[in-house]
Chains A and B, each alone.
Chain A
Amino acid sequence: MKNNNINRREFLTLAGAAAATTAIAMSGCGNSDTAKKITGNSTSSKKEIPTDKMTYRVNPKNGDKISVLGYGFMRLPTVSKQSARESSDEIDQESVNELTDFAIAHGLNLFDTSPAYCKGMSEHSMGIALSRYPRDKYFISTKLSNFVAPQWSRENSIGIYKNSLKELQTEYIDFLHLHGIGMGAKDINGNDLSGMEAFNQRFIANGLLDFLLEEREAGRIKNLGFSYHGDVKVFDYLLSQHEKYHWDFVMIQMNYVDWKYAKDINPMNTNAEYLYGELEKRQIPVFVMEPILGGRLANLPQHPTLMLKTERPENSVASWAFRWIASHPNVLTILSGMTYMEHLHDNLSTLCPLEPCTEEENTLLQRVADEFVKFPLVPCTQCQYCMPCPYGLDIPGTFTHYNKCINEGDIAVSKLDKNFAEARRKFLIGYDRKVPKERQAAHCIGCGVCKTHCPQNIDIPKRLTDINDYIEKLRQETL
């Protein structure tokens, strides 16, 4: 898992061994810092991924054939390979090009990015990777990510859009999202704005939405839509305005857990079942984000993993999530941030071609979701929107470590637990390895800046405090 700069031939040799070590891979790829998934038998050297079997969906607006798997450029590989450790990491462009080549060769044709991703370097990187191909070979999806108050003026926001065209080395954008609709924000004076107020400030008061509609008229934006997180009022409002704006697509967070449990995980969120239903009603094509929750649905706790493995021992845990989503006909594309070749390989083999989920499989996945939500995992998808924390904390790193320990059964309940000493050691040593001391939870002062940025609506300061309390109890052995 360490070496992500892997070429295809090497990869296939490695993968031969992977089939035999599935069980180890399931519990053992713990050190990989970013979203990780199980490299199941789908990466066996025996089975070449066909290059002509990609599943496509038709964009009702213009008949374009879009691959059901879209490439998300939010979790790009970095040069140092230690993507979470320090801030000087640069995008590993060579790997990005290789991944792009492999994806295009297998029929993937939609690439998604944002001006904010990867410390603002994602669009530039995509521009380099894609400009090597004819423009009609691929579709570009990007966003208007004017998140912070200083960017809200008409001039600055349009500047962001123009810069996207420049970085992506293109004359037009196939899919443009109003980014993060429904999320709150802080205004210039630091006051909290609701999702609705933030939307008005970002897109209405400055006339930006009108400008974008004009750009769509002019053909520089082929499809205009929005990506939705958070406050459902804004979602409902924008759909009620469908007659006026004619949304060409909407992006929602959808997977077999969020389908019925998004609200249980966080009362601020809305179940995907409702969101998808509303869009289907209006025949608006759906973009899906967080298909595997930043890797959490690829690396499930032990028992749910076994439930899926028993049913389809040769398929990865992640493949279930993709098949389930793709089985919904109104889904136009599923965006997956595939950092490593293993991820891309696994997803391509799942969707080239798609084998839709049966009724029984849907029931099984519902049971997996029932179990999954019982684990007290932090619903962090490592999207990095909260970062950088002004006080230098590594928020996603802390949550990832905590979730990993829960998944692996290494959270102690009491010091009388049989495995207390081992769990303590693993948690504390593992934490120091994952996150440098001065970036750990104890340093959170609760300023709450991160809260407005979190698309999952996690009460980050509260969760950090809880984790730190747990750490204190481990250290002092007072659990």
Chain B
Amino acid sequence: MKLKQIRAVLAAIFWIGISLLFLDISGALHVWLGWMAKLQFLPSILALNIGVILLVTALTLLFGRIYCSVICPLGVYQDIVSRIAGKFKKNRFRFSPERRKLRLIVLGIFVVLLFVFTPLAVIIEPYSAYGKIVTLIFKPVYEFFNNLLASVAEHYDSYAFYQVDVWLKSGIGLAIALVTWIVVTIISWKSGRGYCNSFCPVGTVLGYMSKKSVFRIQIDDNKCVSCTLCEKNCKAQAIDSKAHQIDYSRCVSCMNCIEKCHKGAISFSKYVSKPAAESDTKSDEPQDSTRRKLLTTASILAVSGVVKAQEKKFDGGFAVIEKKQIPEREVPVKPAGSISLKNFTSHCVGCQLCVAECPNGVLRPSEKLSTFMQPELSFELGYCRPECTRCSEVCPAGAIVKITREEKTTIRAGHAVWIKDNCLPAVDGISCGNCAKHCPSGAITMVEYSEFPGVMIPSVNSERCIGCGACEHLCPSRPLSAIYVEGNLVHMDL
């Protein structure tokens, strides 16, 4: 097999695997494909995953930017777009000089932002941009088709497929994903790896690393007839065929030029003219940044939305169920395994993999500027179920560390807060207690209400509360629950 085909097959495997990882609704795939997300460069840096950092560095120092043409899903996506564009217009590329200033400025801003304000930095980071595109744009489409299959299955009494809720996780998130998707697609349609070689911070870092790589694309001056075919087919626009020079900071080792050359003048081989120098690997280790506190003092829930029991006159039918509203939380609730809000915000790259994985409709990207596009919990559609630890299993960036089901029962990610004015027993004297009934950690006990003899109201023991949101989700008060979860800044142990 030729090198180009090997590259293409590997790229296809990675691209399909990662895409499926985001699209998966069964919760089974991450066991097999989770490692593909963990290989991603920026998440592994934020997770201080030394093994992966060394692996990617070594790969790059040996073979150049094959990370960009095989492992990076956004890179492969652009290759696909560029390939389709190539069907319409042959030999469409020309050598262009490196936009070094632009690359370095973008990288500089990115690194600074990464320390100061991660959520904004990662908007141009390729892996998390790809994750947003798949999760927020394509996953709903995938789920829609799944639901079609599920209704067919239902018709035949089969349990092979089941319905999932398709819901808009974040309007702003969708907008950003759409813009990213359109811009990246247009750039790659017009100029191949234009985004990777002018903006992508990972591309820039790996690019300068690969200037020292052992194996490289090389032009044999003796065989070359300066036909410019390689230059016209280089999607990185990195081959200067007149000068027989290649800009290795932009070459992604895709091997296309080898195929194109009629004279066999191009080879991927050990670089000879210069000896390999020592690497200047960058380390983007995050330090404890002095992040500004993100607490906004919002007034809590003035509106009382107590359900008014519907008068029964006839048999049958359903009472209308009002949608639950998201309460204003002073501290966002982060998944168990996040360790602390600080740890979470400084590690999360906003790739949405956990959002895509969450089977309970709990995780969604934040729309607050301070935690922009980083996932947070809310309990309108479900609650953080005790048997589920999927987000912690997939997170590649160390924002959510892996926890077991048993550990989850002892992690206090938040605490429930009771709002008297929304509570059915306190307002209408109805006996309820659904929050206490469903609390998995026994943190809620019903106690006699002094103002309403004989009526029991919930009381929360914050010390035992794990912030799972069962109470908030199952509270009959709508649109605002009478009990809701506030996040804990640091996730304490029970």
Contact = CB atoms under 8 A, between A and B. Distances in A.
A449 B317 contact: no
Interface in B410-443: 424, 430-434, 437-438
Given A87-B317, A148-B311, A392-B318, A442 B476 contact: no
A31 B157 contact: yes
Residue of B162, B311, B317, B476 ringed by the most chain A CB atoms within 10 A: B317
B307 A429 contact: no
A209 B153 CA distance: 54
A437 B473 CA distance: 11
Contacts of B311: 148, 150
Given A390-B307, A447-B309, A476-B386, A384 B315 contact: yes
B314 interface: yes
Interface in B187-238: none
Contacts of A394: 318
A477 interface: yes
Interface in A370-425: 383-385, 387-392, 394, 425
Interface stretch (A112-120, A191-199, A345-353): A112-120
Given A148-B311, A447-B431, A432 B163 contact: yes
Given A148-B311, A475-B387, A445 B318 contact: no
Interface string B169-181: 0000000000000
A2 B437 CA distance: 38
Contact of A475 (B314, B317, B385): B385
A116 B312 CA distance: 10
Contacts of A444: 434
A446 B162 CA distance: 30
A355 interface: no
A443 B154 contact: no
A388 B387 contact: no
A2 B316 contact: no
User: Size class of B's contact patch?
Assistant: 35 or more
B162 A433 contact: yes
B438 A442 contact: yes
A385 B431 CA distance: 22
B155 interface: yes
B162 A445 contact: no
A188 B256 CA distance: 83
Contacts of A438: 321
Given A438-B321, A449-B312, A391 B307 contact: yes
Nearest to A433: B154
B142 to A, nearest CB: 18
Nearest to A120: B314
A453 interface: yes
Contacts of A120: 313-314
A443 B315 contact: no
B474 A387 contact: no
A91 to B, nearest CB: 11
A387 B162 contact: no
Given A390-B310, A443-B474, A445-B424, A119 B315 contact: yes
A117 B315 contact: yes
Interface in B63-94: none
Contacts of A74: 315
Contacts of A445: 424, 430, 432-434, 476
A336 to B, nearest CB: 17
A61 interface: no
A207 interface: no
Nearest to A429: B162
Contacts of A114: 315
A360 interface: no
Interface in B114-163: 154-155, 157, 159, 162-163
Interface of B: 154-155, 157, 159, 162-163, 165, 307, 309-321, 381-382, 385-387, 424, 430-434, 437-438, 474, 476
22 contacts: A87-B317, A114-B315, A116-B313, A119-B315, A387-B315, A387-B316, A388-B312, A388-B316, A388-B318, A391-B307, A425-B159, A429-B159, A429-B162, A432-B163, A433-B162, A439-B318, A439-B321, A442-B438, A444-B434, A445-B433, A445-B434, A446-B432
Closest 5 pairs (CB-CB, A-B): A390-B309, A120-B314, A384-B316, A87-B318, A392-B321
